Amino acid sequence: MTNIVVLTGAGISAESGLGTFRDEGGLWARHRIEDVATPEGFARDPELVHRFYNARREQAAKATPNAAHLALAELEKRLSGDLLIVTQNVDSLHEKAGSTAVLHMHGKLAGALCGACDHRWDAPLLMQPTDLCPACHAPATRPDVVWFGEIPYGMATIAEALSKADVFVSIGTSGEVYPAANFVAEADHFGAHTIELNLEPSTGASRFAECRFGPATEVVPAWVREELER
């Protein structure tokens, strides 16, 4: 019986064609974080922020899961123990691959939120500032994503899972964003074996007991095969 927590970042979706944030030419290279991923940026220019997320929503809708997403879905099916995927990603590629225990700590492109009454609904493909909330009819709709300075979703659930984890695996994340970047320390504190699977060493690589480098579509299926054969 092995309980596993997996943290994923933009790197797991890179080979599905979705841009990462901090790689060469990444999303942040084309937009200032302050302008498109903060409440202040949204208040300043909601049209720009909706355009940023509309483009990503359209791209994500067309994307297909890759071998790394599929390997994690297979692991969930066959693992004798609990597997929780905590993803920083707002795409739905884990779900499209068949994973069901997925916690989107930074929200989802597929979700819409009313800034006035907190109502949540399935986001249309394209959103704009004049959209009215289906519940309170205020023109205060936004993507249901967690911006900088906002509290990530599911923190209590994540803390509980980390306290029970035997293995913590971080996949495709630069380890630049908190509180996700601290999960490895929490898992380690509770005695979990910690593994980084990434294209190259992340900022927090030295905090992991084990690191394996390469494209997610190679290193993730290899690790899952080993885990299932243990």
Catalytic residues, by residue number, are 106
Q: Does 51 bind ligand BV8 (CB under 6 A)?
A: no
Q: Does 15 bind ligand BV8 (CB under 6 A)?
A: yes
Per-residue H/E/C for 28-93: HHHCCHHHHCCHHHHHHCHHHHHHHHHHHHHHHHHCCCCHHHHHHHHHHHHCCCCEEEEECCCCCH
Size of the site for ligand BV8 (CB under 6 A): 37
Q: Are 1 and 81 in contact (CB under 8 A)?
A: yes
Q: Are 128 and 50 in contact (CB under 8 A)?
A: yes
State the minimum distance, in angstroms, from the CB of residue 80 to ligand BV8: 27
| Contacting ligand BV8 within 181-210 (CB under 6 A) | 198-200, 202
State the minimum distance, in angstroms, from the CB of residue 161 to ligand BV8: 15
| Contacting ligand BV8 within 116-175 (CB under 6 A) | 145-152, 155, 172-174
| C-beta closer to ligand BV8: residue 42 or 147 | 147
DSSP one-letter string for 100-149:
--EEETTEEEEEEEETTT--EEEPPSS--TTPPPTTT--S-EEEEE--TT
Coil, strand, or helix at residue 195?
A: strand
In the shown chain, the binding pattern of residues 106 to 125 toward ligand BV8, with x for contact by CB under 6 A and - for none, equals: x-------------------
Options 111, 115, 129, 215; binder of ligand BV8; rule CB under 6 A: 215
Q: Does 37 bind ligand BV8 (CB under 6 A)?
A: yes
Tell me the C-alpha distance between 174 and 220, whole Å. 16
By CB under 6 A, name the binding residues for ligand BV8. 9-11, 14-15, 20-23, 26, 37, 88-90, 106, 145-152, 155, 172-174, 176-179, 198-200, 202, 215-216
